């Protein structure tokens, strides 16, 4: 039998960690834990997650109806419930607005792969959903194309949602992602981001399997796939308005947009260089 009071205490602890890490300003964010087939513990709306108490936590059913609790449940509970419906293995969901990851949500910049070993092992490719107004079922449905193949998503122009077998595990993915996004921004300021090779990235995926970490992506996702070029979720980019702007594809990757120049293009480039050189020489002779 589950100790609901202990679970509520754990939710309050994660709320404090979210608030202390500045992942949720004011009353932002929400946390849930599924405690039975039809019952979910849910944080209240309009309350700072840094100062939660166990008796603030509401109990709702899988339709979102509040069953008990002195405070009204979060207005974004439908997002959590849709994840539980899609993934029976998930027991907790955490949604918040970590600033560095949310910057990628606002820019709609895909998260680069094959850079940091911990991210490859614990997160993998992180998709960005299309934007919908928060709170309703349409907003909740934005996770459906991705939920089976990842444990964390970036919600366009909004924040992140992560989920796992415990509330602490669900929170971990968010902390890892935001830390990584901050590192990417700092490296960009230094002027260079170095990628791991495809071979070394595959070695990390093999280690992940050996260590027993579950990867919700299908093994078929990697067939004929350039891991470092984000092939897993790229087919969703157009609908979500996602495009590489700040972080280009790895230099070794040859996509349709970054293929090697054709012979004709190479010839035109050589001709242009020769024309410029000839003009420079001509101007020098005139002087």
Q: Tell which residue, 143, 137, 138, has the closest CA to residue 163.
A: 143
Q: Tell which residue, 179, 31, 199, 167, has the closest CA to residue 111.
A: 179
Q: What is the pLDDT of residue 103?
A: 98
pLDDT in tens, the chain (287 residues): 689 999 999 999 999 999 999 999 999 999 999 999 999 999 999 999 999 999 999 999 999 999 999 999 999 999 999 999 999 999 999 999 999 999 999 999 999 988 999 998 899 899 999 999 999 999 999 999 999 999 999 999 999 999 999 999 999 999 999 999 999 999 999 999 999 887 888 888 788 778 877 777 666 666 656 667 767 899 999 999 999 999 988 765 443 333 344 444 444 545 555 555 565 556 555 55
Q: What is the pLDDT of residue 284?
A: 54
Q: In this predicted model, what pLDDT tens digit does every residue of 124-142 receive, in sequence order?
A: 899 999 999 999 999 999 9
**Domains of the chain by range and CATH?**
4-190 (3.40.225.10)
Q: In this predicted model, what pLDDT tens digit does every residue of 30-52 receive, in sequence order?
A: 999 999 999 999 999 999 999 99
Q: Are 163 and 90 spatial neighbours (Cβ–Cβ below 8 Å)? A: yes
Nearest 5°: phi and psi at 52? Answer: -75, 150
Q: What is the pLDDT of residue 261?
A: 41
Q: Are 93 and 99 spatial neighbours (Cβ–Cβ below 8 Å)? A: no
- How far lies 97's CA from each of 13, 116, 159, 160, 218, in Å? 17, 22, 4, 6, 28
Q: What is the pLDDT of residue 253?
A: 45
Q: Are 91 and 33 spatial neighbours (Cβ–Cβ below 8 Å)? A: yes
How many Cα atoms within 13 Å fall on the side-chain side of residue 157? Answer: 9
Q: What is the pLDDT of residue 250?
A: 79
Q: Which residues contact 282 (CB under 8 A, 6 or more apart)?
A: none
Q: What is the pLDDT of residue 81?
A: 98
CB atoms within 10 A of CB 217: 17
Q: Are 272 and 278 spatial neighbours (Cβ–Cβ below 8 Å)? A: no
Contacts of 212-218 with CB under 8 Å at 24 or more apart are: 213/121, 213/122, 215/124, 216/87, 216/148, 216/149, 216/150, 216/151, 217/124, 217/125, 217/149, 217/150, 218/149
Torsion, Cα 196 208 126 254, to 10 degrees, reads: 40
Q: Are 173 and 122 spatial neighbours (Cβ–Cβ below 8 Å)? A: yes
């Amino acid at each position: 039998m589950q100790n609901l009071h202990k679970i509520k205490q754990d939710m309050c602890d994660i709320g404090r960690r979210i608030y202390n890490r500045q992942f949720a300003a004011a009353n932002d964010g929400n946390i849930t834990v599924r405690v039975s087939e039809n019952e979910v513990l849910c944080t209240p709306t309009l309350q700072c997650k840094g100062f939660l108490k166990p008796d603030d936590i509401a109990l709702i059913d899988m339709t979102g109806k509040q069953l008990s609790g002195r405070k009204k449940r979060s207005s974004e509970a439908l997002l959590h419930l849709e994840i539980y419906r899609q993934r029976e293995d998930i027991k907790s969901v955490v949604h918040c607005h970590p600033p560095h990851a949310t910057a990628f949500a606002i820019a709609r910049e895909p998260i680069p792969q094959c850079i940091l070993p911990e991210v490859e092992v614990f997160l993998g490719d992180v998709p960005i959903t299309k934007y919908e107004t928060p709170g309703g079922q349409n907003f909740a449905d934005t996770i459906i194309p991705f939920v089976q193949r990842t444990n964390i998503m970036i919600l366009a122009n909004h924040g992140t949602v992560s989920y796992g077998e415990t509330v602490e595990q669900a929170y971990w993915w968010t902390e890892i992602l935001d830390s990584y996004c901050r590192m990417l921004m700092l490296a960009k300021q230094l002027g260079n981001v170095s990628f791991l090779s495809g071979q070394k990235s595959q070695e990390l995926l093999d280690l992940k399997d050996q260590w027993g970490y579950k990867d919700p992506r299908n093994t078929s996702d990697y067939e004929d796939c350039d891991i470092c070029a984000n092939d897993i979720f790229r087919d969703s980019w157009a609908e979500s308005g996602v495009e590489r702007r700040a972080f280009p594809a790895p230099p070794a990757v040859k996509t349709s947009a970054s293929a090697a120049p054709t012979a004709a293009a190479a010839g035109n480039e050589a001709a242009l260089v020769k024309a410029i050189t000839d003009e420079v020489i001509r101007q020098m002779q005139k002087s």
